Amino acid sequence: MAKAKMLRSCPVAAFQKMISGKYKLRIVWDLKDGPRRYGEIRSGLLRGTDGSSEITPRVLSRELKALTLSGLIDRKDYAVVPPKVEYRLTRKGKSFVPVIAAIRDWGERHLSEPAALAEAAE
């Protein structure tokens, strides 16, 4: 496991890579309350950033695939017509929820200050 050795020295870098992508964290967060369908996730992401830009299917699809590869979420295809696909957190994904909670918590306390807004809202 040569690759593992390199990464083990910095789990933060691995985390960064895992959640890179504009919506990954929010998708996991949205899934914490239970399984959701593709379209539900999509509309759920409409609220949040600024409410203006909608996520395109291409991007959402990619993020979902990446999250699946990371082992955070699981895809369940019901193979019916019309199609129905559900995404839900894996055990690993569930274990990650508290981390996002910590992030949210901190963000709510510190990211409403002027300095943060200047940077974050641009």
Partner DNA sequence: CGGTATCCTAGTAGATACTG
Partner DNA sequence: CAGTATCTACTAGGATACCG
Give the footprint of a copy of itself on residues 6-65 (CB under 8 A).
Answer: 6-19, 22, 25-26, 29, 47-51
Residue 13 binds which of DNA, a copy of itself, none (CB < 5-8 A, kind-dependent): a copy of itself
- Our measurement of the distance from residue 58's CA atom to the centroid of its chain's CA atoms, rounded to an integer in Å, reads 15
* Alpha carbon distance 106, 100 (integer Å): 10
Output 46 or 95, the one with its CB closest to DNA: 46
HSE (CB half, 13 Å, CA atoms) of 73? 32
Closest CA to 103 of 40, 13, 11, 19: 19
Give the footprint of DNA on residues 1-40 (CB under 7 A).
Answer: 20-22, 37-40
Output 30 or 86, the one with its CB closest to a copy of itself: 30
Closest CA to 64 of 48, 81, 91, 86: 86
Output 43 or 112, the one with its CB closest to a copy of itself: 112
Q: Is 46 helix (H, G, I), strand (E, B) or coil?
A: coil
Count residues contacting a copy of itself (CB under 8 A)? 54
In the complex, the residues that contact DNA under the rule CB under 7 A are: 20-22, 37-40, 53-59, 61-65, 75, 77, 82-85
